[in-house]
Structure 1
Amino acid sequence: MASEAIFLPAAGSVQFAIYPDGYDGARIIARIDEEVLHDRFHAADGESELVSTYDRNADSIDALATARYRENPRVEIRLRSTDFQSGGF
């Protein structure tokens, strides 16, 4: 499936979709902060670079977002730098 990721300048994050129960299940919207993409994944400057960096690292980012969703499906999923410090991601 093609990436659904987009950069949201006002939020300073990349928004993306995860499908915890497969593509026939619910579509959950999540975000990852721009800071994480720069610091953890070494994204270059520019909106398209942030989205490309998400795309290249989608497996690990989506895995963490899915884990957060499973912990509490009622809470917004917004991945921050602290989420990547202790999870081995």
Structure 2
Amino acid sequence: MASEAIFHPATGSVQFAIYPDGYDGARIIARIDEEALHARFHAPEGRDADLVQAYARNADSIDALATARYRENPTRAVCLGREDFRA
């Protein structure tokens, strides 16, 4: 499936969809902030498209963390930040 990721200027984050129960299940909207994309995934500064590309290159690991966060508490928004990727 093609990436549904977009840059969301109001929150300074890339917004993307996850499907915790497969594509026939619920579509959950999650976000990763640009600070995390710069610090952890080395997105270049300057263009929104670079942030979306950084997400796309690392979607497997970002989506996995977002899905785990959703499963921890399905009633809470899934917003990933730099602190979520510390060792």
- The bucket for the TM-score relative to the shorter chain is over 0.9
In structure 2, distance between residues paired with 1:82 and 1:42: 15
Match in the other structure for 1:62: 63
Query: For each residue in 1:43-80, what CA deviation from the matched residue of structure 2 results, as whole angstroms up to 9, or x when unmatched?
Result: 01210000000000000000000000000000000001
Match of 1:31 in 2: 31
Counterpart residue number, 2:74: 73
Tell me, which stretches of 5 or more residues in structure 1 are unaligned? none
Q: Which amino acid aligns with 2:25?
A: G
- What is the count of residue pairs matched by the alignment? 86
For residue 32 of structure 2, give the secondary structure of its aligned residue in structure 1: strand
TM-score normalized by the length of structure 1: 0.94
TM-score if structure 2 supplies the norm length? 0.96
- Asked if residue 82 in structure 1 is aligned to residue 83 in structure 2, the reply is yes
Aligned identity (percent) is 73
1:12 counterpart residue number: 12
